[in-house]
Amino acid sequence: MSVKITFPDGSVKEFARGTTVAEVAKSISGRLAKEALAADVDGRKVDMDYILEEDASVKIFTFDDDYGKRVFRHSTAHLMAQAVQNLFPGTKLGIGPAIEDGFYYDFDSEHKFTPEDLEKIEEEMKRLVKEKQEFTRREMSREEAIRYFEERGEKYKVELIRDLPEDETISLYTQGDFTDLCAGPHVPHTGYLKAFKLLSVAGAYWRGNENNPQLQRIYGTSFPKKSQLDDYLTKLEEAKKRDHRKLGTQLGLFTLVEEGPGFPVFLPKGMVLRNQLEEFWREEHIKAGYQEIKTPIILNRGLWERSGHWEHYHENMYFTKIDDQDFAIKPMNCPGGMLVYKQGQHSYRELPIRTAELGLVHRHEMSGVLHGLMRVRAFTQDDAHIFMLPEQITDEIKNVIDLVDRFYNIFGFNYHVELSTRPEKSMGSDEIWEKATSALENALKEKEMDYVINEGDGAFYGPKIDFHLEDCLGRTWQCGTIQLDFLMPEKFDLTYIGEDGEKHRPVMIHRVVFGSIERFIGILIEHYAGAFPTWLAPVQVKILPIADRHNEYAYRLKEQMSEVGLRVEVDDRNEKIGYKIRQGQLEKLPYMLIVGDKEQGENTVAVRKRGKGDIGAVPVARFIEDIKEEIKNKVSE
The span from the CA of 316 to the CA of 308, in Å, is: 13
Give the DSSP H/E element, type plus range, for residue 86: helix 66-87
Q: How many CB atoms lie within 10 A of CB 524?
A: 21
DSSP at 135? P
Residue 59 has, within 13 A of its CA and on its CB side, a CA count of 13
Residue 204 has, within 13 A of its CA and on its CB side, a CA count of 20
The span from the CA of 92 to the CA of 216, in Å, is: 10
The span from the CA of 147 to the CA of 126, in Å, is: 32
Give the DSSP H/E element, type plus range, for residue 594: strand 591-595
What is the full DSSP assignment across 435-482? HHHHHHHHHHHHTT---EEETT-SBTTB-EEEEEEE-TTS-EEEEEEE
404, 513 contact by CB (below 8 A): yes
DSSP at 124? H
Catalytic residue numbers, as ranges: 334, 363, 381, 383, 385, 464, 510
The span from the CA of 315 to the CA of 563, in Å, is: 50
HEC profile for 223-234? ECCHHHHHHHHH
The strand pairing partners of 197, in sequence order, are 221
The span from the CA of 319 to the CA of 330, in Å, is: 9
Cis-peptide into 352, omega within 30 deg: yes
The span from the CA of 346 to the CA of 278, in Å, is: 29
One-letter identity of residue 41: V
The span from the CA of 479 to the CA of 315, in Å, is: 23
Main-chain dihedrals φ then ψ at residue 380, nearest 5 degrees: -105, 120
The span from the CA of 487 to the CA of 507, in Å, is: 8
Q: Report the chain's C-alpha Rg in angstroms.
A: 29
Main-chain dihedrals φ then ψ at residue 58, nearest 5 degrees: -130, 130
Dihedral over Cα of 461, 465, 467, 468: its sign: positive
Beta-carbon contacts of 574 under 8 Å, excluding residues fewer than 6 positions away, are 548
Q: How many CB atoms lie within 10 A of CB 124?
A: 17
For residue 305, what are the CA distances in angstroms to 311, 332, 336, 359, 459? Answer: 7, 13, 13, 20, 16
Give the DSSP H/E element, type plus range, for residue 35: helix 30-35
The span from the CA of 516 to the CA of 381, in Å, is: 5
The span from the CA of 627 to the CA of 613, in Å, is: 16
Main-chain dihedrals φ then ψ at residue 240, nearest 5 degrees: -65, -40
Residue 208 has, within 13 A of its CA and on its CB side, a CA count of 5
